[in-house]
Amino acid sequence: MSNKPDAADDDGADKYTVPGLERGLRLLCEFSRQERNLSAPELAKRLGVPRSTVFRLLSTLERMGFVERNPGGRDYRLGMAVLRMGFEYLASLELTEIGRPLLDRLRDDLQYSTNLVVRDGRSIIYVSKSSAEAPFTSTVNVGTRLPVHATVLGRVLLMDMSLPQLRELYPEEHLKVYSENTPHTVLDLFNMVQHDRERGYVLGEGFFERGISTVAAPVRDHSGKVVAAMGATIPAPHIASDRHDAVVSRVCAAANELSRLLDHAPHESAQVVNLWPR
């Protein structure tokens, strides 16, 4: 009896792949914030498939609402079905389901808008938000993506990373600068995050956007890994000194409670250390 594996086994999971579905998903992934409109010939070139195949894929996706034609009929853009699917995905996350009541409670306690974000590569993604009733209107909504290295919430999500891991994430010599507070190199970012880790939270006044302050703390899962960042957005260039300690302690407490609900059990209680310069 032969011990050689069957030819089908050599293919592994490939034997279950549906080529048409794979092409359709790859086609959708070609659209981005930078390239919102693409033509059928351009898509055929990128995917390396005949134009007739791309036209059939586009026709199917258009009928289902995943793409739509621009006025004039030549170029295509993503349709509302993609957006609906994205929101359904965010709503299905256990993190958002458990975290939403805590965000609402933190918002009520502080009277500031509160947010929950996760990391996707070099971007943070807002997965839940609880808005305070105030004249200030934030342009950030669920699904918004911002750069990790240049945001307070992003710095929280980097707390677990070593310098080699950060260099792998940011191989370039200089980081893109968004404000005077943005770290210019990976080493600058690493040193900043090390201080954040020791402190246990991050506070930034005008760090990414002038006139906006943010306090954020890490949310950890059962393994102790940082899986999200919870924060409060203060519509002011500075946090009043008599409110600083209360805001920090309540944000940290809410993040710790969400961590506990995600089965995180720290070996010793985290202490909120006040390193705010007086």
Q: Report which of 236, 251, 242 is spatially closest to residue 278, judged by C-alpha positions.
A: 242
**How confident is the prediction for the chain on average, in pLDDT?**
84
Give the containing element (helix H, strand E) for 123.
strand 123-130
Topology match between the domains 7-79 and 93-261: no
Q: Position 233: which residue type?
A: T
pLDDT digits (tens, 9 = 90+) for 164-184: 999 999 999 899 998 888 899
Domain limits of the chain?
7-79, 93-261
pLDDT digits (tens, 9 = 90+) for 242-261: 788 899 999 999 999 999 98
pLDDT at 276: 33
* CATH superfamily, domain at 93-261: GAF domain (3.30.450.40)
Whether 233 contacts 137, CB under 8 Å = no
Q: Is the pLDDT of residue 264 over 90?
A: no
Give the CATH number of domain 7-79; options: 3.40.50.970, 2.40.37.10, 3.90.1150.10, 1.10.10.10.
1.10.10.10
**Band of pLDDT at residue 2, cut at 50, 70 and 90:** very low
CA atoms within 13 Å, Cβ hemisphere of 157: 26
**Band of pLDDT at residue 135, cut at 50, 70 and 90:** low
Share of the chain above pLDDT 70, in %: 85
Q: What is the pTM of this model?
A: 0.66
